[in-house]
Structure 1
Amino acid sequence: MTLLQRDIHLSTGTDYEQLANRFRPIFTRIAEGAVARDRSRDLPHDAIAWLKEAGFGAVRVPSRFGGAGASIPQLFQLITELAAADSNLPQALRAHFAFVENWLNAPPAAEQRTWFDRFVSGQLVGNAWTEVGSAEIGSVNTKVSKKDGRWVVNGSKYYSTGSIFADWIDVYAQRSDDGSDVIAAVSTHQAGVIRKDDWDGFGQTTTGSGTTLFEDAVVDEHDVIDFARRFRYQTAFYQLFHLATLAGIGQAVKRDAATLVRERTRIYSHGNAPRASDDAQIQQVVGEIASWAYAAEAVALQATRPSQRAYEAHFAGHAEAEHAANLAAEIESAQAQVVVSELVLRAATHLFNALGASATSTSKALDRHWRNARTVSSHNPLVYKARIAGDWAINGTEPPYKWRIGTGPARGNG
């Protein structure tokens, strides 16, 4: 009898409408302040607090442990709705849900229950994986070591998305004693963790990305975890967040295009109708945007299904089925990125063809849709995802399940 058959309380899904209706009033409140936050670069501390209080960070935790028991496709449906309200919020929560997913894939134990209780209580987890500057590819300068009988973390990270809002930070580091790669779950409620809001990107400006410094930051021994334990479909899972965020941006573009055309009173003498909303060419523009947004969301949601299969297969005792699901998760998320990025960027540009020059007013902040989509699409470069998909289609070459970024070897003089 398999583990799954013995019922170890997996999160396989719940009533989506009932689940979403818990959060839709919050999404509406978040949307109301999205433009103002973008214009003033105001971090969404209030919005994050509303989501925490409503239990948003625990939707994947099994219902037996106080969560909602949502499936991965249901999680990303929610993320798409949240991204339509403000695309910065999903990215700020991306590391949290990946950390949750890692514990969902862990064997049942006291530590797993401890973390489930933390998630259900509203505690959030941020990210500190990437090192910039002279760090060579494959190297980790952030170290976990023993000092005065305690484990401590020292190092510097950038792109620490969501860490400004978090109670814990998921830190990718290296043990100084044996050189092994680990994940350290470091509490932010200590002086040894210093978070800086110095992200300078032109899009996704309020995700809480920036520099995090660790100066003898204390970490519990139980929270220093061998990196090899990370769930296998993690790269695909991280990519699904970008896809859902892009799909949400597409829905926001459609919403704004339809609303602004409907409300528009000014027309052109060489237009096709006495009202912009009745102009056949403008209707075509909005219809194309709506179609691209529809396709982007459909593709993004389709790409979530293999990860759910991989999650369930992990506990079913079928190694071949688990491997096939992990493979499909990587390939489908890569293929989806190539398509969804193109569709949403096209929609965010086409929006301006439905409106006049007044649409470029900074008060409307309509450019944020393109800036945000372009920024999200720049993570995990599209060209490499397309190559991976092509190499699989042509040669059957399996994709990389984990990858790193860093400084390459110096160029030779020959």
Structure 2
Amino acid sequence: MTIIESSSPVRIAEQLRDEFRAGAAERDRNRQFPYEQCAAFRDSGLLGLMVPREHGGHGGSFVELTKVVIAISAGDSNIGQMYQLHTGGIRLLQEFASPAVQAKWLPRFTRELWITNAYSEVGTKSVNDFNTTVTPDGDGWRLNGRKFYCTGSLAGDITFGPCRVAGSDEVRVFFARTDAEGVTIHDDWSGFGQRTTASGTTEFDNVWVPGELCFGSPDSAGGGGGAITSLNYQVVHTGVFVGIARNALDDAVEFVRTKSRLWYESSADRATDDLYTQLRVGEMKTAVDAAELLALRAAELCDRAVDNPGDERIRGEASVVTGQAREAAASAAMYAGSTLFKVCGAGSVLEKYGLDRHWRNARTLSLHNPLDFKSMHAGDYLLNDRLPPVDSYN
């Protein structure tokens, strides 16, 4: 049983949100990987949310996924981000693996195996250039290379990413066990945000990959895209932003209610009655609620794209709106993460509260996929009726 039958996936996520929120600031401060919380997430059955029902999963929709990610990320956005790669890996196999490979592997992703990633590299011309290679070896391949931004590496059982066939420009996508001989995971992520995502280095030294798990790239330019897989990536990231924004807003409200003092020039009797505080909290709420509604609208369009495979217009519109939602959600998260200090006052900057993590997390995640290009695609579509490219980032 992959999802507890007596409760919905969203309800389960909301329960985990409250558990994950406790200690999140301390884990961030100490760069302490959430092993215990990841174990609880695995036990919850949510790993199987997006696995099709015929393979033992819940067969969830993008709308359900968005709601789950928002809830989880409102507790600990690091876990929400790691979940992106698991759901993306599932979708990648659905789109491009053979039916036999899907039947063999998808049931294992409901609870047994957590998928992580080894996608990006450093030192290349762009994110779509890869030095990692595979060479044929019997009925499989030998994988060699070094990856970075390997989000979720310490939680994952199997990792995927793009590579080139040695001596050619052919791009393939590999899935490799993280405990396979020749795989070394370095816990060296030093970013100021999303500190406990284990987004550091993974090395592959002559790692054997079975032929069935190294297939032709669905996206020769980006390696690991695909019409629906790439939407999955963007939907989850958008949900993480909304969760960060919601967490920042919740923390601001709680702080004002329980800790804030009045400024001596205020005519109010308590902090919650101060008009300027009410104004700023109201503005934060509007930004957060608007971002969540747009994120859910984008998810609805992505579900429509799933229901209409091959329809470039429907898929393209889903990509445009998901990009808009991503920008709106990132902006809301950074706005809420900054404005909370204005409403909470000087005492809120104390390190023990860890309230700065919300802005740091949002700012860090916002750089993963430049927001300017999302607005550019929306404008290009409106002005020229031109759809975004189908690749790993759109």
Q: TM-score, normalised by structure 1?
A: 0.87
Find the partner of 1:280 among 275, 278, 284: 275
Matches within 5 A, 1:103-142: 103-106=93-96, 109-135=99-125, 138-142=128-132
Find the partner of 1:271 among 263, 266, 276: 266
> Which residue does 1:345 correspond to in 2?
334
Find the partner of 1:380 among 356, 369, 379: 369
Cα deviation, residue 198, structure 1: 1.4
The CA distance in 1 between the partners of 2:112 and 2:70, in whole Å, is 21
Which is further off, 195-204 or 273-282?
A: 273-282
Cα deviation, residue 134, structure 1: 4.1
Contact kept, 8 Å, 2:226 with 2:391, in 1: the verdict is no
1:85-142 Cα deviation digits (max 9, x unpaired) = 0111111121111111123335772211112221123311111111111456754211
Instruction: Specify the structure having the higher radius of gyration (Cα).
Output: 1
> Which residue does 1:77 correspond to in 2?
67
Q: Do structure 1's residue 360 and structure 2's residue 349 form an aligned pair?
A: yes
The CA distance in 1 between the partners of 2:207 and 2:75, in whole Å, is 35
CA distance change for structure 1 residues 336 and 214 in 2, over 3 Å: closer, same or farther? same
Which is further off, 249-258 or 277-286?
A: 277-286
The CA distance in 2 between the partners of 1:183 and 1:107, in whole Å, is 10
> Which residue does 2:184 correspond to in 1?
194
Cα deviation, residue 327, structure 1: 0.6
1:18-38 Cα deviation digits (max 9, x unpaired) = 222233332221111211101
> Which residue does 1:249 correspond to in 2?
244
Find the partner of 1:171 among 161, 165, 180: 161
Q: Do structure 1's residue 58 and structure 2's residue 48 form an aligned pair?
A: yes
Instruction: Report the 3-state secondary structure (helix = DSSP H, G, I; strand = E; otherwise coil) of the residue aligned with 2:308.
Output: helix
The CA distance in 1 between the partners of 2:126 and 2:349, in whole Å, is 42
The CA distance in 1 between the partners of 2:81 and 2:70, in whole Å, is 11
Contact kept, 8 Å, 1:194 with 1:212, in 2: the verdict is yes
**AA at the equivalent of 2:267:** N
CA distance change for structure 1 residues 107 and 374 in 2, over 3 Å: closer, same or farther? closer
Find the partner of 1:68 among 58, 65, 83: 58
Which is further off, 108-117 or 385-394?
A: 108-117
Which is further off, 56-65 or 179-188?
A: 56-65
> Which residue does 2:222 correspond to in 1?
none
The CA distance in 2 between the partners of 1:85 and 1:73, in whole Å, is 19
The CA distance in 2 between the partners of 1:95 and 1:170, in whole Å, is 9
Find the partner of 2:388 among 377, 394, 399: 399
1:226-263 Cα deviation digits (max 9, x unpaired) = 11275313333212222111111111111111111111
Contact kept, 8 Å, 2:133 with 2:166, in 1: the verdict is yes
Cα deviation, residue 312, structure 1: 2.0
Count matched residues.
Answer: 385
The CA distance in 2 between the partners of 1:256 and 1:133, in whole Å, is 39
> Which residue does 2:13 correspond to in 1?
23
Q: Give me the CA root mean square deviation.
A: 2.2
The CA distance in 1 between the partners of 2:283 and 2:79, in whole Å, is 27
Instruction: Report the 3-state secondary structure (helix = DSSP H, G, I; strand = E; otherwise coil) of the residue aligned with 2:256.
Output: helix
Contact kept, 8 Å, 1:135 with 1:141, in 2: the verdict is no
The CA distance in 2 between the partners of 1:276 and 1:122, in whole Å, is 49
Structure 2 gaps of 5+ residues are 220-224
The CA distance in 1 between the partners of 2:72 and 2:260, in whole Å, is 31
